[in-house]
Structure 1
C-alpha cells in the first residue's frame, strides 16, 4: 500500500474558479493560430457576424467582450454614467459586489429570505423594481448554482417591461444547465424581448478562460449603448481566432457538459450521503454549507492532495464551493479520506490525558534534584515546540544538559519514574492525571461500525495501559514506546497501523498535540488533527486543522 502524498505540482485539480481545468477540448489539440496579421489591431466584427448568423439574430444584436467580466464592467460603467440604479439579488457573483465597491454607483442589493438563505428572493425583487433601472439575474447563479425556472424568469421580465426596467441576465454557466428543452430561451427570444441583455462567455464550457472572450446579446438599441462603452480593440487577434475555432467546434460541447452534469449528480449524492446540505445546482459546481472546522479540514486535506476548492465566498461564511471535474474519482477518493475515516489514532498525553501535574511535574522535580535549578513550565513548552522530544525522559535530559548535567540517561529515568509511579511510602504524580476526552466521545467512536481506533504514544506499554485504564477504554490497537525502534516524529508507529488497513476504503487520522505528532502524521500520510492553543505552530508542523480540545473532534465525524 502506497500512502505517499501526491505532489500538488504533479496532480493538480484546480476546482476553485469553475474553470475547465482537467479536460482540454478535443479541437484545441489541433488549433492553429495565424500570426501573419498580429501586427494589425484586432477586428472582432467577423466573429460577431458569424455568431449572429448562427444564432439567427441581427448583426447589431451582439458585442464581443474581453471575457464576461468586461460585460459586467460595462454594465457598471453604463449605470454610473447614466445615473441608473442596479438591482442585484444576493447571493451574487463576487464581481458584482467588487464592482459596486469600485464604481461607487447606485446599487441596491436584495437580501435573501431567511427561510431560503441561498435562493434569489423573487418577491422582494419584484417589489423593488422601478423605471430606469437594471435588474441583474445570474442563471445558473454563482455561487449557488440556482437555476431560475423559465416561468419565473419570464414573469420577472414581463413585470420589468411594465415598469420600464431593463434586465441583465448573466448566463456564464448556461451550457451546464439540464432543464427541460422548453426551459431555455433562444438568442432570438432574448433579442425580441426588447428590454433584455444577456451575457455569455467562452471561459467556462468552451474552456478558454485564459483567452478572455465573452459576448453580450440583446435588442440592437441596447447593445449599441454597450458598444459605445467598449474599447475598439478589446479582444486580441489570437483570442478571436481561438474563439472562432471553439465556436466552429461547439458541437463537441454537449458530450462534455453532459459528463459534467452526470458528475455533478454523483458528487451531490456523495456529499449528501456524508450529511452535507448541498444546494441544487445547474452550474459546473456544487455548493454546500458546513462548519468552520470542517471547512478548514476540507481545504487543507484537498490542497495536500493537489486539489484546490473555494472556501472564501462573499457573505457565505459556512459555504464551500467545488468545481465539478471531468475526472471525478480523485476528488471522491480525497473526500473519502475526510468523510470516511477508517482509523483514528490518538496520541495520549495532552490529548486524552492531562499530564501537566504528572509528567511535567516529574520533569521539573527531576531537573531540580539533579541540578538544583528550577525549570518553568515555559521551558518545557519551548523545548517540546522545537520538536524531537516526544519522550519526556529525553526532554528532561536535554534540560539538564543545558544546565551542565554530566550524568547518564538511566539516572534521569530512575528518578523520573520514582516521582511518576511513586514509592511504598509516597504516592506517585500519576495520581494527579485527569482525563481530557469525554466518555460520550469514546462511546461514539467505539460504537462506530467501521471505524477502528488506536493510541500511538511515547509512553512505555505498561504506562500506556495505566492511562487506558484511567480512561476506561480499550482501543483496537496500542503502539507504545516498547513497540517501535524510533519515536515520533519518526512515523514508524503510525506506519505500523496503516499497513494493517486499506487506504482505498477511507482515511487514516492522527490526533496529537505536539510538533512531533504532526510531523509524524504528515510523514505517514495521515490526516493530521492538532490539539491545543498554539494553532500556528501546529499548522506549520503539518496539521490540517487544529482544535482547542479533543472533544471538538465530534464536529468532524
Structure 2
C-alpha cells in the first residue's frame, strides 16, 4: 500500500506545482503571541500599518454583522464604483481579489503556461516566482542593479525590457519594491513601457504606492513631511493605463489602509483583460464585511493621509537611529526599511525573536545579510532599538 505522504501526492500534482515551494509568511506569529502575551510582542516583520484602519471602516464591519448569513455582492459593485471614482477609471476596468496575492497568481494562470516565459527581477516580490511556477511557465529572472552605498539592488528596467522575448507573456514589476524598498520615477516608467512589445502584459505591483513620498504631502502635524523630496518624481502607473492597454496595476488595502486582516486587493486594467480574468475569479471571493470596510476606508482620505505621514516621519526617525548605530540602512519609499547586518545577521535576528521582537529574515530572497524591518509606531520602534542595543552589546 502506498505511503500517501507528501511525496506520493506531489508526484501526482501538475508539473508546475511539483517544483513549487509554499509561500513563506515568516515566523509563526500566532505561536509567538501566545508565548509573549498580548501587547508584549513587537511585530515588525509583516509590513502592517500600526495605526490601524479608518474608524469608518471599523463601523462598516460592525454594521455588516447581522448580514453574515447572506452572501456578499458577487460583483462588489459599490466598492468598484468607489475605486472607479478614486482612480478615474471605469468599473469595467476593476477586478477585486482576496488580496493582491490572489490577483498576481491568477494573472499567471490566465496568461502564461507551459512554453511561455514570465520576466521579473531578482529580489522582486516572492509571489512573482510562485505564480510563474504554478502556471507551469518558465521564469526569466533578470539581475537587479548592483547594491551600492546609496541603494539596495533595485529593478534594472533596461535589463528587464531587454529580457523580453517572443515567448514572454507577462512581466512583473513592483514600484515601490518589496523587499528592497526601491522605486523608480515617472520618466523611467514611461521609458520602460515604451520598450515593451504591445503583446506582452506588464503587471505593475503597487502595494506600497500610497506610502511613497510625493511633493506637497504634509506631516501629521501639518508641516512638510520628512523625506518629501526623496522621490519627487514618483508616479503611479495608473495614469498610463489609457496609453498602454497591455498594462495592469495591482493595489491592496492591506498596507496603507490598515486592513490586512480582511484580505482585499484589486487590479486596474483594460476592460477586455478584466473580462477574461473574471472567467477565473472565484465566486464571492471578497466577503461582505471586507467590501463594506474598504468602501468606507476610501471615503476617509484624512485618515489615510495621516497614516502615511506618520509612517514617513517614523521611517525617517528609525532610519536615522539605525544609521547612528553603524548599520547600513537603504532608502525606502514604503513602510519598511532593508537593513544590512552582515555576517552577524542570523544571530541578531534569533536573539531579537527571543526578546519578543519579530523582524523578517531575507535569506529566502538571497539577501541573507539583511533584515527587513517594518516601520512601527514610535513606541514599537523604541522597543526595537532597545532590544537591538542589548543583543549587539
For residue 294 of structure 1, report the CA deviation from its aligned partner: 4.2
For residue 128 of structure 1, report the CA deviation from its aligned partner: 1.0
CA–CA separation in structure 2 for the residues paired with 1:271 and 1:41: 46
Q: For 1:219-238, what per-residue CA distance to the aligned partner results, in whole angstroms no more than 9, with x for missing partners?
A: 21222222222123211122
Q: Say if 2:84 is the partner of 1:33.
A: no
Give 1 or 2 for the bigger CA radius of gyration. Answer: 1
Q: 2:90: which partner in 1?
A: 58
Instruction: Count matched residues.
Output: 335
Q: Say if 2:244 is the partner of 1:244.
A: no
Q: For 1:132-189, what per-residue CA distance to the aligned partner results, in whole angstroms no more than 9, with x for missing partners?
A: 532211011000110111111111111114x643210000011110034653237353
Q: For 1:3-31, what per-residue CA distance to the aligned partner results, in whole angstroms no more than 9, with x for missing partners?
A: xxx95533223111111245453334533
CA–CA separation in structure 1 for the residues paired with 2:281 and 2:273: 13
CA–CA separation in structure 1 for the residues paired with 2:119 and 2:193: 13
Q: Say if 2:42 is the partner of 1:13.
A: yes
Gaps of 5+ in 2: 1-34, 216-231
TM-score, with normalisation over the residues of structure 1? 0.56
Q: Say if 2:349 is the partner of 1:318.
A: no
Q: For 1:374-408, what per-residue CA distance to the aligned partner results, in whole angstroms no more than 9, with x for missing partners?
A: xxxxxxxxxxxxxxxxxxxxxxxxxxxxxxxxxxx
Among residues 172, 179, 182, which one is paired with 1:143 in the alignment?
Answer: 179
* RMSD across aligned positions (CA): 2.5
TM-score, with normalisation over the residues of structure 2? 0.77
Taking the TM superposition and a 5 Å limit, the aligned residue runs for 1:47-446 are: 47-81=79-113, 84-114=116-146, 118-131=153-166, 132-161=168-197, 164-180=199-215, 183-185=234-236, 187-301=238-352, 303-312=353-362, 313-325=364-376, 327-339=377-389
Among residues 52, 73, 77, which one is paired with 1:42 in the alignment?
Answer: 73
SS in 2 for 1:87: strand
**Residue 56 and residue 8 in structure 1: after superposition, are their counterparts in 2 closer, same or farther (change >3 A)?**
same
Q: For 1:392-428, what per-residue CA distance to the aligned partner results, in whole angstroms no more than 9, with x for missing partners?
A: xxxxxxxxxxxxxxxxxxxxxxxxxxxxxxxxxxxxx
Contact kept, 8 Å, 2:100 with 2:266, in 1: the verdict is: yes
Contact kept, 8 Å, 1:305 with 1:334, in 2: the verdict is: no
For residue 118 of structure 1, report the CA deviation from its aligned partner: 1.4
Gaps of 5+ in 1: 1-5, 340-506, 508-526, 528-555
Taking the TM superposition and a 5 Å limit, the aligned residue runs for 1:527-546 are: 527=391
